[in-house]
Structure 1
Amino acid sequence: MRRGISIAAAVCALALTATACGSDDDEGSNGKAKDAKDISGSLTYWDTSDATTEAPVYKKLIADFEDKYPKIDVNYENIEFASIEQKFKSAAKTGKGAPDVMRADVGLIPEYASLHYIAPLDGTLALKGGTEDFTEGPLNTTKYQGKTYGVPSVTDTLGILYNKKLFKKAGVEKAPTTWDEFIETSKTIKKKTGVEGTYLNPDSYFLLPFLYGEGTDLADTRTKKITINSPEAVKAVTTAKKVYDQASAKVDFANAYDNMQTSFKNGEVAMLIQGPWSVTDDLSGKAFKGDEGNLGFAPVPAGSTGKPQAPTGGHDLTVYQGSKNLDAAYLFTQFMTSSKSQQKIAAETATLPTRESAYTPEVTKDARIKGFHPIMKSARPRVALPQVGSLFTPLVQQYTKILQGDVSVKSGLDAAAKDFKKLLPGYTISS
């Protein structure tokens, strides 16, 4: 799935080297001074926001952009999140039909950059005004080999979502801060209320807080080592297995996410490790509908490092390196990620901004944003590997076997490491 740069993309990259790197805020892609009002052309924007609840907000912003820059026309296309990756790769590889600007999952930036499908943005209009206002976690997702390939648009991470009434009924005064406390809290809630304490999501993405809590990751790019079977990783997955065995409701592996969500929002589970994308759905359930204050927020539990850490998620805006309208694309990217635009988006969609200045009193009065804003300070980017998305597939296969008791933690992670080796040429496996 992860391939090297195609010949067509390589030729495109060489042709665009001189046009993708302006040197100051007011320069166009040809290096000559250009006022933003003079930029003209048409561009296509692929957006993966929710077509019903979020897309109308983006369409309004695009209309504002076109009013401000009447010489630029924007063709908006809402693309399903599940299909956009393959659709973009196919278009970028062939050089036919790729969008000028795209909203990309933060985990895909290294791969797109390594393939030369997206343009470096340092020194272009896309980053006019610098990057100081962007929060550290989202900004770090845009980097690959020392260059910036995206502009943070919206962000998220994982935290504890919990039912305050169930906690109070069980005599639990605060959210757990360690995984041992997480297990004990779950047991106490089950004993005192009869309600399940938690529901472990068996997806490998949700394993990351366990790994980060032990100071490890899927791999180490500095030493070129696969670390998924390191002693620290074994300890992390052993902890996850303990949560599954001692604290979790029974997991239906075929439909785990939906069952987890239904159980939590209906008051049948007291707490989850979950992200802000779920909160609107949570508030629609009988446990929280009409009682939004019953939903509590807290960072993920810490491992032996003492630091609660979860992956930085969200989306960055990227510019197709083969765009025939780079100046317009850069300007559009700047406009859509400005503090003013992010405030509008957050106020109407409850998604988390990536600029600190966008966390205004108006924005943070929304409990969903207020709850996750401090949690974002403990977020960290996923390992910056082009193949990172592919690594989750063999990992979830082995993680499932581990949770179900089919293999030991060590043997399952050793098997995952061998599969990682096939995807990471030049990497060694931790002994």
Structure 2
Amino acid sequence: MRRGISIAAAVTVVALAASACGGSDSDSSGKPKDPKDVSGTITYWDTSDAATEAPTYKALVKQFEAKYPKIKVNYQSVPFTDVEQKFKSAAKSGKGAPDVVRTDVGLMAEYASLGYIAPLDGTPALKDTADFTATPLNTAKYNGKTYGVPSVTDTLGLLYNKKLLRQAGIAEPPATWDEFIADAKTIKQKTGAYGTYVNPDSYFLLPLLYSNGADLADPSAKKITISDAAAVTALTTAKKINDEASMKVDFANAYQNMQTAFKNGKVAMLIQGPWSVGDDLTGSAFKGDEANLGFASVPAGAGGKAQAPTGGHNLTVYQGSGNLDASYLFTQFMTSTESQIAVAKGTGTLPTRTSAYTSEVTADPKIAGFKPLLERTARPRVALPQVGSLFTPLQQNYVKVLQGDQSVEGGLDATAKEFQKLLPGYSVG
């Protein structure tokens, strides 16, 4: 895993920065360039689902080309699982990188730190920022600059089976993790269904960490905080949920089994994201009865505050693009209110612009259900270039703790030691 920028990469960054200076949103006289005069070809890498989402984006590309007939877009569908390594390899070598790429918000800090994507402040790509909901826009920032334009967003929430909660005599979904555990036990006792199913993916541990005042690290203090007292409280709670409130987890097929159990009414509550709702509604518990699916904030922890990570995608512009002007215009168009409305209606994903939440868009139950959760509980992940890599050791030790092969303190201490290898100069707080 990368611990810093190699000499070769550093040379590449300088070269990319120099080549980027060739693009400008003004002409040789210094006057702003008329968008209608911008011409050329750009390549766009789209990571949306090729079968269910890509048709909506392809239609928008055609609309862009109709509006700007001098610009041609080379649309390429790149699987989400492949794009990170493919883009980093192309950007580092300076060969084959797209002009615009759909980027997971968790990769923003790394791409920006390596000089692979261009800062967009003051460019046509980043207009009307006041219209963006605050948290998605913050995911695009790194070291005081904005490197992307929010396209779609999401967060984690508490999905629940309303009928099972009513049968158990529970009037409202749990507001705290203690209530979550107690309600899960009551549901099992009174209905026979399990209260929840723990997702052993470390990303789903973040609501527990955040709500207890913990985090992976503190960049301002250059400290690793994953093993501090607040994190111990969070993981202790996660272990208690697993042992006392959850259906037995099949660690080899956890996500699939979790989904199957929930949508078919064998589990009453899940910590999940909006991407699961389409699948949820195909199960016997919700098919033909969509109103039975409830949406609530993730529970609050010892600190009394419910928080969940912000996910989603931003559009980013390659620093070495040979046509920055066209790339800026394309990014602006694809993240406009009109485009976000089309994407929300076509794919069911949540917009990042306030103005895109029209009555037609919020008619979608998952968008209506998750919109208030984004406003109440969503927060960006820690803005570290290595943040994606940190989840690997956290994941490994989290599973060991859940399985009883490691103590909570031992698992977090082991994670902190691995973090030190990835975060040179950081101390363990």
TM-score, reference length from structure 1: 0.96
Per the alignment, do residues 362 and 230 of structure 1 end up closer, same or farther by CA in structure 2, a change over 3 Å counting?
same
Question: What's 2:324 paired with?
Answer: 326
1:265 and 1:47 map into 2 onto residues whose CA distance is 30
CA contact (8 A) 1:102 1:317 kept: yes
CA deviation digits over 1:347-390, x for unaligned, max 9? 12110000111111111111110000000011000000000000
Corresponding position of 1:344: 342
For the aligned residues, what is the CA RMSD? 1.4
Q: 1:10 is matched with which residue?
A: 13
Report what 1:214 is aligned to: 212
**Cα offset for 1:417?**
0.2
**AA partner of residue 174 (structure 1):** E
2:175 matched to which residue of 1?
177
The aligned residue for residue 389 of structure 1 is: 388
The CA deviation string for residues 5-60 of structure 1, in whole angstroms up to 9 with x for no partner, is 6044222244046456x6xxx64799542011111000111111111111000011
- Aligned residue among 197, 200, 207 for 1:199: 197
Instruction: Describe the shift of the 1:314–1:370 C-alpha distance in structure 2 as closer, same or farther (beyond 3 A).
Output: same
- Paired with 2:318 and 2:22, the residues of 1 have a C-alpha distance of 12
Matched residue type, 1:285:
G
Partner of 1:92: 91
Task: Give SS of 1:132's match.
Answer: helix
Give the match for residue 119 of structure 2. Answer: 120
Describe how 1:259-338 pairs up with structure 2 within 5 A: 259-338=257-336
Instruction: Decide which moves more: 255-264 or 220-229.
Output: 255-264
Tell me how far apart the structure 2 counterparts of residues 312 and 28 of structure 1 sit (CA, whole Å). Answer: 38
| CA displacement at 1:403 relative to structure 2 | 0.7
TM-score, length basis structure 2: 0.97
Gaps of 5+ in 1: none
For residues 215 and 343 of structure 1, what CA distance do their matches in structure 2 show? Answer: 35
Label 1:29 to 1:251 Cα distance change in 2 as closer, same or farther (>3 A). farther
Which residue of structure 2 lines up, in the alignment, with residue 249 of structure 1? 247
SS of corresponding position for 2:150:
strand
Please, which moves more after superposition, 165-174 or 196-205? 165-174
AA in 2 matched with 1:375: L
| Separation of aligned partners in 2, 1:61 and 1:94 | 30
Structure 1 range deviating more: 133-142 or 11-20: 11-20
Instruction: Give the deviation of 1:128 after TM superposition.
Output: 2.5
SS of structure 2 residue aligned to 1:56:
helix
- What whole-Å deviation, never above 9, does each CA across 1:120-172 have from its counterpart, x for those lacking one? 0001110133x111111101100000000000000000000011111111111
Change in CA separation of 1:112 and 1:252 when aligned onto 2, cut-off 3 Å? same
Paired with 2:27 and 2:358, the residues of 1 have a C-alpha distance of 32
CA distance in 2, matches of 1:386, 1:177: 33
Contact 2:20-2:319 at 8 Å conserved across structures: no
Aligned length: 425
Structure 1 counterpart of 2:222, from 221, 224, 227: 224
Amino acid corresponding to residue 253 of structure 2 in structure 1: N
The amino acid of 2:328's aligned partner reads Y
Partner of 1:155: 153
* Structure 2 equivalent of residue 40 of structure 1: 39
Task: Give the percent of matched residue pairs that are identical in Structure 1 and Structure 2.
Answer: 69
Corresponding residue for residue 187 of structure 2: 189
1:74 corresponding residue in structure 2 = 73
Checking the alignment, whether the CA contact within 8 Å between 1:13 and 1:116 is kept in structure 2 is: yes
Does the 8 A contact of 2:194 with 2:267 survive in 1? yes
Q: Note the residue ranges of structure 2 that are not aligned, 5 or more in a row.
A: none
The one-letter code matched in structure 1 to 2:200 is P
Alignment check: 8 A CA contact 1:217 1:227 kept: yes
